[in-house]
Structure 1
Amino acid sequence: MAPSAITTERNEIPVPKVDVHVSTGTALLHRDLHRDPSKVVSASGNYLTLSNGQVILDATGGAAVSCIGHGNQRVKSAIAAQLDETAYCHTLLFTSSGAEGLAKALIDSTHGEMAKAFIVSSGSEAMEAAMKLARQYYLEVSPPQPQRTRFIARNESYHGTTLGALSMSGHRARRAKFEPILLDNISRVSACNTYRGMRGSETAQDYVERLAQELDDEFQRVGPDTVCAFVAEPVVGAALGCVPSTPGYFKAMKAVCKKYGALLIMDEIMCGMGRCGTLHAWEYEGIAPDIQTIGKGLGGGYAPIAAILINHRVVDALDKGTGSFAHGQTYQGHPVSCAAALEVQNIIREGNLVENVRVIGDYLASSLRARIGNHPNVGDIRGRGLFLGIEFVKSKASREPFPPALKIANTIFTRAIDPKYSMTTYPGTGTADGYSGDHILLAPAYNVTHDVIDKIVETIGKVIEEVFQEISES
């Protein structure tokens, strides 16, 4: 049986409940206790093979993770070579060639903007580390600023599933169950979403100026000398469906942060490491953050890994202060994960795959617009590179979302993965206001070819037409 929804550690998608409990017999706590997900028995390139023989086109790389496809022999060999050296060493005492090599490659890729890398095992861990580092920075500067304990983030955002990262997130449905135990030192401003946030009479410059003023006002409201950092995704992933920032937005936001002495943290867990057509999403923005989180495309799914990249300003403060970051995890800088990620990054660089993301990404976007852009229930097609979102609406004119009870995104996902179509999409909800609104993501591998893109576009076109035809007839 095909799974009813996809979930990831950082991007939870609600799954529909069944009326009768079914004991599945598994000892593993799956995302849905009432049904088992399908078992993948092999994977190669853009395709997954299930235990029932079904072959599925992976048009999303899981959760925008499998950036070089599945089953790469070079990565397997790199993992084996690191295992021959050491599988694990405690970073309190030791380092490894995998960790050192990956950190150097990452810092070199920032063209001098970043100074150090801190390597962890998941995106949520990276956000937790970024929050703690931002706080510690203000204890290490001279003179210290211990009153800085607050963060400003954005509505309709998602930064992770652990309590600190979820506290930073603004996606209301994902926060709802845990509100009583979330941090209260985080406030939010509007997302940068031209489709839903830009007023009819505004130019792009007007919109950016309004959002910058909103951020400035929030600094003033909470006390400008109490804020550690402003946190935002350059391209919002699962929470909004690949919504890119308006040109000039991050330059304006960084100016506000600089005005009040706060840090800028860019969350590139989903949109970074080549996914949007530049290795780092901030390169497109024309500015570099003080702290950057990266994850999914870093290791391409071959091992659990994420990281934070830290600029010279922050590292220098620690260097002149205590000389250490008061944070550590058992599996930080894990040698095997680092070796896998380093080889993934080597493959991306040597194959010029980021350029391919730009070229093929433009082809995917234009093909989607030609195939489904005029569909009455397709409100917006947006994104950058191979990170595209499709938002669904009841009416193009009103942009009114469908009622959450209809589960539009999940229905499209379920239909697409059915043997009739055998393709993954990545569903998301809460697109309009945190509760209502539906979208899907497409995020194929960086080395995807035109013929596979054609198949993705035609398949999703047929699925969308079929689902909405059934809805109109019901």
Structure 2
Amino acid sequence: MSHIFPRNSRARLPVIDHGDGVYLVDTTGKRYLDGSGGAAVSCLGHSDAAVTAAIRAQLDRVAFAHTGFFTSDPAERLADALIAHAPEGLDRVYLVSGGSEAVEAALKLARQYALETGQPARHRVIARRQSYHGNTLGALATGGNMWRREPFAPLMIETTHIAPCYAYRGQDPGESAAAYGHRVANELEAEILRLGPETVLAFVAEPVVGATLGAVPAVEGYFHRIRDICDTYGVLLILDEVMCGMGRTGTLFACTQDGIAPDILTIAKGLGAGYQPVGAMLCTAAIHDAIAEGSGFFQHGHTYMGHPAAAAAALAVLGRLTDDGLVARARTMGARLRTALEDAFGQHPHIGDIRGRGLFLGLELVADRETKQPFDPARKLHARLKAAAFEAGLICYPMGGTIDGRQGDHVLLAPPFILEDTHIDEIVTKLGTALAQSL
């Protein structure tokens, strides 16, 4: 009998024993290829010597010092390194312990910035349907994942949602990608005007939508229009790169591929690569300085923010991603994996779309390719696929409710950047086996 309170009380999970590169190995010796990096976390695999050495070295010096009393060398160096690589204008780093904390910090900072700059009416947040920004109450309210939100709706902050940029489902026949992107981006302007521009605080979006939609990138030009709208009405643009950032899409920061920079940006997951729980919120100098020159105090904080051992791990991860070329490798291997998926499943009768960027790829499952009709949600195809893949020795990330929170199924792939061609073959083969068994 276990005293662990599990995610799913009806599941009986194997016990993890150790990691070996792109594989996880349970206590029976069974090996699982980590085709989703857990939840797009383990970008360096599970046995990176450089990162574990950095953690060990920091623990030999000091494990923890509260940021109310001290800063630390690894935290300072990590912040410097992140800003050196960050999109233009981002200047300050607020270190936290994960993605939900980073999003909560972003929302609170946006509100405090409004207060410190004499805009107290700004309190409304706009986000997109079928988004996911975390599981704490503020982050959950901001996200557009309906089945996650529903039980806790009475506890949530006020948020409204516009359409995602989801070309596979939203682009009209004969409509160009540019026209589609402009049309859905203009929903933001319409919503700002409906609510009253003076009341709108921020717009929150994932550059490449992760868990809820399955690696959906925006069409070219969409985020340029979003940036213009935010600038016109004084609305802060918060980009959530918790899942899609840190090299996952083939550039260190995903939004650089869209040619824009946000006012506030959140990262986590791949920042620590699973070796330590760590995340960060990055903001512009203007936002930081408004606080520094006003009250001087950001009214927010967590006990483990800026944890020295976590910062040391993240700094080592960042070095592996940049100095050791693993971001570039994610781009190269992502192209190879996508080609292999298209070769194997491009004409599959129940794969409607293969999409994504870098090593962040999704496959949308459909009952009918021609009509794009989804499977009956009662089949719980995503759950069947996850179980079949796991039995075959492949960890992947299927989800349901892709279209509207109820209908639709997809599978997300986000393997470690260190994978080899043989691992690509193994992913495709085992995924094919799982599809055959679950469809």
Which segment is superposed worse, 459-468 or 334-343?
459-468
Alignment partner of 1:34 out of 10, 13, 23: 10
Aligned to 1:325: 298
1:353 aligns with 2:356: no
Q: Which amino acid aligns with 2:397?
A: Y
Aligned to 1:267: 240
Aligned to 1:191: 164
- Give the total of aligned pairs: 439
Aligned to 1:76: 52
Separation (CA, whole Å) in 2 of partners of 1:427 and 1:276: 19
Q: Which amino acid aligns with 1:362?
A: A
Aligned to 1:152: 126
Aligned to 2:145: 171
**Unaligned regions of 5+ residues in structure 1, if any?**
1-24, 469-474
Offset, 1:112:
4.6
Alignment partner of 2:393 out of 411, 417, 422: 422
Write the deviation string for residues 66-96 of structure 1: whole angstroms up to 9, x where unpaired.
Answer: 0011021211111111112211111011011
TM-score normalised by the chain length of structure 1: 0.91
Separation (CA, whole Å) in 1 of partners of 2:21 and 2:200: 45
Secondary structure of 2:394's counterpart equals: coil
Q: Which amino acid aligns with 1:455?
A: E
Aligned to 2:412: 441
Aligned to 2:107: 131
1:467 aligns with 2:438: yes
Offset, 1:111:
5.8
Question: Residue 182 of structure 2 contacts residue 221 of structure 2 at CA under 8 Å; is this kept in 1?
Answer: no
Which segment is superposed worse, 385-394 or 403-412?
403-412
Separation (CA, whole Å) in 2 of partners of 1:114 and 1:373: 40
Separation (CA, whole Å) in 1 of partners of 2:167 and 2:88: 32
Question: Residue 181 of structure 2 contacts residue 218 of structure 2 at CA under 8 Å; is this kept in 1?
Answer: no
Q: Which amino acid aligns with 1:171?
A: N
Q: How does 1:52-451 map to 2 (within 5 A)?
A: 52-110=28-86, 112-141=88-117, 144-183=118-157, 185-418=158-391, 421-451=392-422
Aligned to 1:6: none
Separation (CA, whole Å) in 2 of partners of 1:41 and 1:213: 50
Separation (CA, whole Å) in 2 of partners of 1:89 and 1:276: 34
Write the deviation string for residues 415-442 of structure 1: whole angstroms up to 9, x where unpaired.
Answer: 1111xx2111111111011111111111
Separation (CA, whole Å) in 1 of partners of 2:312 and 2:373: 47
Q: Which amino acid aligns with 1:108?
A: A
Write the deviation string for residues 291-340 of structure 1: whole angstroms up to 9, x where unpaired.
Answer: 00001110000010111011122122223222231111111101111111
Question: Residue 151 of structure 1 contacts residue 227 of structure 1 at CA under 8 Å; is this kept in 2?
Answer: yes
Separation (CA, whole Å) in 2 of partners of 1:87 and 1:79: 9
**Unaligned regions of 5+ residues in structure 2, if any?**
none
Separation (CA, whole Å) in 2 of partners of 1:465 and 1:380: 17
Offset, 1:221:
0.5
Which segment is superposed worse, 351-360 or 286-295?
351-360
Question: Residue 30 of structure 1 contacts residue 36 of structure 1 at CA under 8 Å; is this kept in 2?
Answer: no
Aligned-residue Cα RMSD (Å) equals 1.1
Alignment partner of 1:456 out of 418, 427, 432: 427
Which segment is superposed worse, 278-287 or 457-466?
457-466
Q: Which amino acid aligns with 1:450?
A: D
Offset, 1:63:
0.5
Secondary structure of 1:293's counterpart equals: strand
